[in-house]
């Protein structure tokens, strides 16, 4: 029972369904909004990086909202790069850059959209992670809930329980794959994949010989789907 609405983003009329998120509408219409913590594969958006802020005028009120979780319910006018948005976003990038000085992705975005006059911040030396939480969401939805966001406040970080090699981990690599700043290290050769201090045997399709992830992952998926464990790729199944 969807209802169509037309809103304006940066002067461009955009049609959308009532309740659709602003970010998605903008993207569909070719309007770029920067973000770090949003990923199409993860249905629930944590809205933690705040980079996708935009300015919205609606019902006589103008304010900053986070476009990835802002549902459009009525006609509104959206601007993605007003002075206020640019200024706020530049500060957020400076903050992320200070938190994760090792991240090239953040450094590049900061070069493009940041404000060089913001300086003198304390840095978290050696840090690459921006604590966006995407890896944990990926682990929960696509993996085996092996890691979580631990601590709180300024100490927040990603870790497996008790900082030990996480037993439930299946080496599926979804955490590292969705990470927007490549902060999760792993190594692999043709036999073994190493991540989170655990080693996983790489599995190959018994029929065509194609690599099909780790053996632990194949077993996990089979259990999840209530199927027998078969080392076959999707094509050969």
Partner 1 sequence: MTPDTKESRYKEYLEAYPPEQRYALPVLLDLQDAFGYVPAQATEDLADYLGCPAADLYAITTFLKVLSTKKQSGHVVTVCSGTTCHLRGKSQIRRAAEAALGIKLGETSQDGSFTLREEKCLGTCAFGPSMKIDDAYFTALTPEGATRVLERYEDGEDPEDIIASTPGAYGERPLYKAREHFDAHAAFNTMQQRVVLAGLDAKDPVSVEEYRAHGGYEGLCRALSMTPEAIVAEVEQSGIRGKGGAGFPTGTKWRNCLNEPAEPKYLICNGTEGDPGVYVDGPIMEGCPHAIIEGMAIGALAIGAEEGFLYVRSGYGKARERLQAAIDAALEAGILGDSVMGSGHKLYLRIVRSGGQYICGETTALMSSMAGKLPEARASYTVHSTQHGLFDQPTILNNAETLAAIPWIFREGAAAFRAIGTTGSTGTKVFFLTGRAANQGILEIPFGTTLRQLVFDMGGGVARGHSFKALLPGGPSDSVIPEKLLDTPIGFDELAQQGVQMGSGGMVVLDERDCMVEMARYHIDFLCAQSCGKCTPCREGLRQMSAILKRICDGQGRAGDLEMLERLGDVMTDTALCALGQSAANPVLSSMRSFRDEWEEHVRDHHCRAGVCRCDALSEGGAA
The residues binding partner 1 (CB under 8 A) are: 45-51, 53, 64-66, 69-71, 73, 84, 87-88, 91-92, 95-96, 98-99, 118, 120-122, 130-131, 133, 136, 139-140, 145-156, 160-162, 164, 166-168
Contact 161, 167 (CB under 8 A): no
Nearest distance from residue 15's CB to partner 1, in Å?
A: 20
The secondary structure of residue 79, as a DSSP letter, is E
By beta-carbon proximity to partner 1, the closer residue of 112 and 122 is 122
Q: How far is the CB of 65 from partner 1 (least distance, A)?
A: 7
Indicate the residue among 91 and 211 with the shorter CB distance to partner 1.
91
Q: How far is the CB of 142 from partner 1 (least distance, A)?
A: 14
What is the rounded distance in angstroms from the CA atom of residue 188 to the CA atom of residue 143? 18
Q: Smaller CB distance to partner 1: residue 156 or 230? A: 156
Q: How far is the CB of 101 from partner 1 (least distance, A)?
A: 12
User: Can you tell me the distance from the alpha carbon of 221 to that of 213, in angstroms, rounded to the nearest whole number?
Assistant: 11
Write down the least CB distance from residue 166 to partner 1, Å.
Answer: 7
Nearer to partner 1, 50 or 221 (CB): 50
100-104 long-range contacts, CB within 8 A, separation 24+:
100/124, 100/127, 100/128, 100/129, 100/130, 100/181, 100/183, 101/125, 101/126, 101/127, 102/126, 102/127, 102/128, 103/128, 103/129, 103/130, 103/181, 103/182, 103/183, 104/181, 104/182
Q: Which is nearer to partner 1, 99 or 220 (CB)?
A: 99
Q: How far apart are CA 66 and CA 23, in angstroms?
A: 8
Closest to partner 1 by CB, 6 vs 117, is 117
The least CB distance from residue 49 to partner 1, in Å, is 6
Q: Cα–Cα–Cα angle for 219, 221, 222, nearest 5°?
A: 65
Long-range interactions of 115-119: CB distance < 8 A, separation 24+: 115/87, 115/90, 115/91, 118/90, 118/91, 118/94
């Amino acid at each position: 029972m969807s209802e169509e609405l037309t809103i304006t983003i940066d002067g461009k009329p955009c049609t959308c369904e009532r309740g659709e998120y602003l970010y998605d509408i903008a993207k569909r219409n070719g309007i770029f909004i920067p973000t770090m913590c949003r990923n199409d594969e993860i249905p629930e958006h944590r809205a933690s990086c705040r980079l996708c802020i935009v300015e919205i005028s609606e019902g006589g009120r103008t304010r900053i909202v986070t476009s990835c979780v802002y549902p459009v319910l009525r006609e509104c006018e959206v601007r993605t790069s007003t002075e206020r948005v640019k200024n706020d976003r530049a500060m957020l990038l400076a903050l992320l850059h200070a938190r994760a000085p090792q991240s090239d992705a953040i450094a590049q975005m900061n070069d493009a959209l940041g404000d060089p006059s913001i300086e003198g911040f304390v840095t978290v030396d050696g840090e690459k992670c921006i604590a966006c939480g995407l890896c944990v969401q990926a682990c929960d939805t696509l993996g085996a809930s092996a890691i979580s966001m631990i601590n709180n406040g300024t100490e927040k970080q990603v870790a497996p329980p008790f900082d030990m090699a996480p037993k439930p981990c299946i080496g599926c690599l979804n955490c590292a794959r969705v990470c927007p700043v490549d902060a999760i290290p792993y190594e692999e050769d043709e036999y073994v994949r190493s991540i989170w201090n655990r080693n996983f045997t790489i599995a190959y399709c018994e029929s065509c010989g194609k690599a099909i992830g780790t053996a632990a992952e194949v077993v996990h998926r089979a259990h999840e789907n209530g199927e027998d464990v078969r080392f076959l790729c999707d094509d050969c199944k």
